[in-house]
């Protein structure tokens, strides 16, 4: 455990001592921020129109949890796909290029300690990103709250007494759980890509290609139909993640992401070992 | 302490090491000598458990490397070839990382790191980023990293490569100071280093051990050829002819020729008969040539090395 922690600590230090993580986070937040903003504008226009409908006795359905929160999670999932190669590309490729992998494998470390330590460090970055992302959910809730009659201009009173006023904790929980599971699948693929090459650019491109393929592979199924459709939908990220962003925690989806991550971490270990056999 | 028997390593179809057997006793400094690509690094990577063994057995302190790699890795401090380091880390941070991995007890951790910093002359550089250090200091960090946890065995792959002469001497002294206390395997292709530092030498060439012994074993006295340098004035052709015909002289080569003073520098390769100097000198004088200098050349380890690997080539 102590060794696992020291690998974890080293990776964390490395993340924050090099600029790439800051660049990655900046891009992530600019993009999610932009999509959040556009969703909000769209929603406010819809609600304006809905107000008109209501005057004629119709009740259109507008659900903040589904339309805004669902969108926040869905957008985060897609943007992660673009920026995560930057997070994982260096994990093994850098060590192989600089030769430090030789140090790592001649220290008294087990393979799983190395892989789990690196994986945990990347997941930790994801947690930081998610915590910061929580701000947009808070803002949504606050904006809704300000339109209510019990509105108090005191922000602390809002935070401690009235939060959450419209967002449902269950949806937040399932969305964040889904994002963490999805991120662990992303990271596992990225780690595998990083373990088969010593070139970080190749690792990043392989990761991006792999992630995109697993994300969109279900779309092909819709055209084909039949068994192939079923199979491809089961393999794809998008379908399994969809439920989480809608606030549904399904054990099937959790198991899918866990098996996916474990499988790729397992072949990462095998790929590193085979490299040592071949020299 | 380290016992290597019948060690063979294949990379695909390429045989990097061929039935290598040697032992290193406790407190000994063993020098691995050989040209580039001879298999020194491969042998070290096998001992440290970086590469798995194809055939043969390695034990470090009676523990089999293949069976219990974690236990043997605990006993070994390793400076890999080219001294790879985490360039972004601070010296102290890096050493702490190594100490944690090598299970140095919390109480001793600080002392252990201080000791390594002091022993390797890194005082005042603890808080530098490794990539900003000069090459010599990086090498010290590499050595300090190997010393963390006070391992019984040190495996150092070309520890003095690329350093300036003063730094080379410092690093050598550092290694020498540890003799007796630690078991050290050191690889190099710089020959004087071996005779300066090591108590025993293994010469590897093309994956095989071609010679083994103390540096003295490989010194000129033990080699069956003798070299003599002669400077002589006189007719070139007859000198070469007459001296070549002497009993015991195997080869005469003209090193340089000075036409103005009509003198020659010759190198003779002779057998080890004792009066060979005498006979050559007499031959020169009795022919009426002027003998300017005659001196037996002391053979360096380098010559032995070249000789060992060239004869080995001849066999194939």
Of B52, B80, B89, the CB nearest to A276: B52
The C-alpha atoms of residue A242 and residue B213 are separated, in whole angstroms, by 71
CA distance B190 to chain A (A): 23
Chain A closest-CA separation from residue B163 CA (Å)? 19
Alpha-carbon distance of B248 to B227, in angstroms, equals 12
Q: Which of A109, A18, A105, A11 is nearest to B100 (CA)?
A: A109
Q: What is the mean pLDDT of chain B?
A: 84
Nearest one of B273, B285, B282, B227 to B247, comparing CA atoms: B273
Q: Report pTM.
A: 0.82
Closest to B148 in 3D by CA, of A260, A61, A108, A235: A108
Whole-complex ipTM:
0.84
Q: Mark which residues 122-181 of B lie under 8 Å from A by CB.
A: 145
The whole-number pLDDT of residue B290 equals: 87
Lowest mean pLDDT among A43-47, B84-88, B154-158, B213-217: B213-217
Percentage of chain A modeled with pLDDT above 90: 55
* Residue A236 per-residue DSSP state: -
| Other residues' Cβ atoms within 10 Å of the Cβ of residue B260 | 5
List, as one string, the DSSP characters of chain B.
-EEEEEEEEEETTEEEEEEEEEEE-TT-EEEEE--TTSSHHHHHHHHTTSSPPSEEEEEETTEETTT-HHHHHHHEEEE-TT----TTSBHHHHHHHHHHHTT--HHHHHHHHHHHHHHTT-TT-TTSBGGGS-HHHHHHHHHHHHHTT--SEEEEESTTTT--HHHHHHHHHHHHHTBTTBEEEEEES-HHHHHHH-SEEEEEETTEEEEEE-TTTTSGGGSS-EEEEEEEES-HHHHHHHHHTSTTEEEEEEEEEETTTTEEEEEEEE---TTHHHHHHHHHHHTT-EEEEEEEEPPPHHHHHHHHHHHHHHH-
Beta-bridge mates of residue B258: B263
Residue of A nearest to B93 (CA): A10
Note the pLDDT of residue B315: 41
- Which of B230, B209, B227 is CA-nearest to residue B308? B209
CB-based contact, A255 to chain B, within 8 Å: no
Please state the rounded mean pLDDT for residues B245-263.
81
pLDDT number for residue B258: 82
Touching check for A19 and chain B: CB below 8 Å? no
Residue-by-residue DSSP string for B258-316? ETTTTEEEEEEEE---TTHHHHHHHHHHHTT-EEEEEEEEPPPHHHHHHHHHHHHHHH-
Q: Using a CB–CB cutoff of 8 Å, tell me whether B58 touches chain A.
A: no
Confidence of residue A29 (pLDDT cuts 50, 70, 90): very high
Top mean-pLDDT range of A60-74, A113-127, A142-156, B215-229? A113-127
Q: Are residues B33 and B305 in contact, defined by beta-carbon separation less than 8 angstroms? A: yes
What was the pLDDT predicted at B97? Answer: 92
Q: What mean pLDDT comes out for the span A216-245?
A: 82
Confidence of residue A85 (pLDDT cuts 50, 70, 90): very high
Mean pLDDT of B224-243: 81
Residue A89 pLDDT grade (very low, low, confident, very high; cuts 50, 70, 90): very high
The minimal CB distance from A108 to the residues B73, B84, B86 is found for: B73
Shortest alpha-carbon distance between residue B293 and chain A (Å):
53
Please indicate if any CB of chain B lies within 8 Å of the CB of A6: yes
Given pLDDT bands bounded at 50, 70 and 90, which one contains residue B299? low
Please give the average per-residue pLDDT across A178-200, as a whole number: 95
Query: What is the pLDDT confidence band of residue B225, given thresholds at 50, 70 and 90?
Result: low
Of A5, A108, A278, the CB nearest to B11: A278
Does the distance separating the beta carbons of B84 and A102 come in below 8 Å? yes
Per-residue pLDDT band for A218 (boundaries 50, 70, 90) equals: confident
* Residue in A19, A107, A198 to test binding to B, most B beta-carbons within 10 Å: A107
The most confident of A134-143, B187-196, B251-260, B294-303, by mean pLDDT: A134-143
Averaged over B248-261, what is the pLDDT?
A: 80
Percent above pLDDT 70 for chain A: 98
Confidence of residue A263 (pLDDT cuts 50, 70, 90): very high
Compare B250 and A256 and report the one with higher pLDDT.
A256
pLDDT, tens only, B163-189: 788 888 888 888 888 888 889 999 887
Report the run of H or E that residue A248 belongs to, with start and end: none
Contact B50 A5 (CB under 8 A): no
Residue of B nearest to A94 (CA): B86
Whether A112 and chain B come into contact, CB under 8 Å, resolves to: no
Q: Report the C-alpha gap between A193 and A268 in whole angstroms.
A: 8
The nearest CA of chain A is from the CA of B243 a distance in Å of: 53
In the predicted model, is pLDDT for residue B316 greater than 50?
no
Burial pattern B153-178, b for ≥16 Cβ within 10 A else e, equals bbbbbbbbbebeeebbebbbebbeeb
A111-160 tens-digit pLDDT: 899 999 999 999 999 999 999 998 888 888 888 888 888 777 788 888 87
Question: What DSSP state is assigned to residue A56?
Answer: T
Point out the least confidently predicted range of A84-98, B31-45, B221-235. B221-235
pLDDT at A17: 86
Per-residue pLDDT at B197 exceeds 90: no
pLDDT value of position A197? 92
Q: Which of A100, A101, A110 sits opposite B85 (nearest CB)?
A: A100
Query: B interface mutation test: which of A8, A103, A121 has the most B CBs within 10 A?
Result: A103
Identify the band that residue B314 occupies on the pLDDT scale cut at 50, 70 and 90.
very low
Q: Which residue of B has its CA nearest to A279?
A: B11
Q: How many whole angstroms separate alpha carbon A132 and alpha carbon A19?
A: 19
A152: contact with B, CB 8 A cutoff: no
Per-residue model confidence (pLDDT) at position A252:
93
Average pLDDT over residues B213-238: 74
B71-86 tens-digit pLDDT: 999 999 999 988 999 9
Give B 62-121 residues with CB within 8 A of chain A. Answer: 70-71, 73-74, 76, 78, 80-82, 84-89, 93, 97-98, 100-103
Query: Does the pLDDT of residue A161 top 70, yes or no?
Result: yes
Q: Does A108 touch chain B (CB under 8 A)?
A: yes
Q: What per-residue confidence (pLDDT) applies to B120?
A: 84
- How many residue contacts between A and B have a Cβ separation below 8 Å? 80
- Helix, strand, or coil (residue A144): helix
Residue A67 φ/ψ, nearest 5 degrees: -80, -35
In chain B, the residue whose alpha carbon lies closest to the alpha carbon of A96 is B84
**CB-CB under 8 Å, A106 with B80:** yes
* A221 vs A198, more confident: A198
Chain-chain contact of B45 with A9 (C-beta, under 8 angstroms): no
Portion 7-36 of B in contact with A at CB < 8 A: 11-12, 16
């Amino acid at each position: 455990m102590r060794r696992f922690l020291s690998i974890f600590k080293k990776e964390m230090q490395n993340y924050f001592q090099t600029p790439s993580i800051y660049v990655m986070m900046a891009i992530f937040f600019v993009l999610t921020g932009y999509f959040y903003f556009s969703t909000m504008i769209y929603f406010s226009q819809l609600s304006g129109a809905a107000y008109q409908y209501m005057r004629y006795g119709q009740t259109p359905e507008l659900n903040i949890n589904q339309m805004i929160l669902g969108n926040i999670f869905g957008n985060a999932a897609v943007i992660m796909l673009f920026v995560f190669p930057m997070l994982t590309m260096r994990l093994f490729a850098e060590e192989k290029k600089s030769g430090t992998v030789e140090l790592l494998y001649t220290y008294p470390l087990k393979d799983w300690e190395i892989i789990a330590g690196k994986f945990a460090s990347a997941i930790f970055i994801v947690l930081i990103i998610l915590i910061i992302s929580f701000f947009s959910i808070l803002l949504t809730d606050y904006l809704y709250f300000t339109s209510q009659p019990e509105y108090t201009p005191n922000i602390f009173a809002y935070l401690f007494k009235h939060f959450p006023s419209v967002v449902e904790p269950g949806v937040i929980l399932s969305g964040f759980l889904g994002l963490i599971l999805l991120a662990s699948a992303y990271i596992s693929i990225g780690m595998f890509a990083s373990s088969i090459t010593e070139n970080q650019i190749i690792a990043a491109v392989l990761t991006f290609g792999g992630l995109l393929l697993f994300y969109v592979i279900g779309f092909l199924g819709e055209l084909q139909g039949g068994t192939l459709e079923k199979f491809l939908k089961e393999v794809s990220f998008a379908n399994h993640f969809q439920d989480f962003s809608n606030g549904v925690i399904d054990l099937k989806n959790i198991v899918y992401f866990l098996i996916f991550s474990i499988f790729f971490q397992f072949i990462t270990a095998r790929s590193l070992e085979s490299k040592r056999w071949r020299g | 302490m380290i016992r290597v028997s019948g060690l063979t390593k294949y990379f695909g179809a390429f045989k990097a090491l061929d039935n290598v057997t040697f032992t290193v006793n406790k407190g000994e400094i063993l020098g691995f000598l050989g040209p580039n690509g001879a298999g020194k690094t491969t042998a070290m990577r096998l001992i440290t458990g970086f590469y798995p063994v194809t055939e043969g057995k390695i034990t470090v302190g009676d523990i089999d490397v293949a069976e219990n790699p974690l236990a043997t890795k605990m006993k070994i401090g390793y400076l890999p070839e080219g001294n790879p380091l985490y360039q972004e880390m601070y010296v102290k941070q890096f050493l702490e990382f190594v100490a944690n991995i090598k299970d140095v007890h919390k109480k001793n951790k600080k002392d252990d790191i201080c000791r390594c910093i002091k022993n390797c002359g890194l005082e005042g550089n603890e808080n530098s980023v490794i990539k900003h250090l000069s090459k010599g200091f990086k090498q010290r960090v590499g050595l300090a990293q190997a010393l963390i946890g006070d391992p019984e065995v040190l495996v150092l792959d070309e520890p003095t490569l690329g350093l300036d002469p003063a730094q080379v001497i410092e690093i050598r002294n550092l290694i020498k100071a540890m003799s007796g206390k630690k078991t050290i395997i050191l690889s190099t292709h710089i020959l004087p280093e071996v005779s300066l530092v090591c108590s025993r030498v293994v010469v590897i060439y093309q994956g095989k051990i071609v010679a083994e012994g103390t540096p003295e074993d490989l010194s000129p006295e033990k080699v069956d050829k003798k070299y003599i340098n002669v400077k002589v004035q006189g007719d070139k052709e007859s000198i070469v002819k007459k001296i070549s015909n002497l009993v015991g002289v195997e080869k005469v080569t003209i090193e340089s020729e000075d036409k103005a003073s009509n003198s020659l520098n010759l190198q003779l390769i002779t057998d080890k008969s004792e009066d060979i100097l005498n006979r050559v000198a007499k031959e020169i004088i009795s022919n009426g040539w002027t003998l300017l200098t005659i001196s037996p050349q002391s053979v360096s380890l380098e010559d032995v090395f070249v000789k060992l690997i060239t004869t080995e080539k001849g066999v194939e």
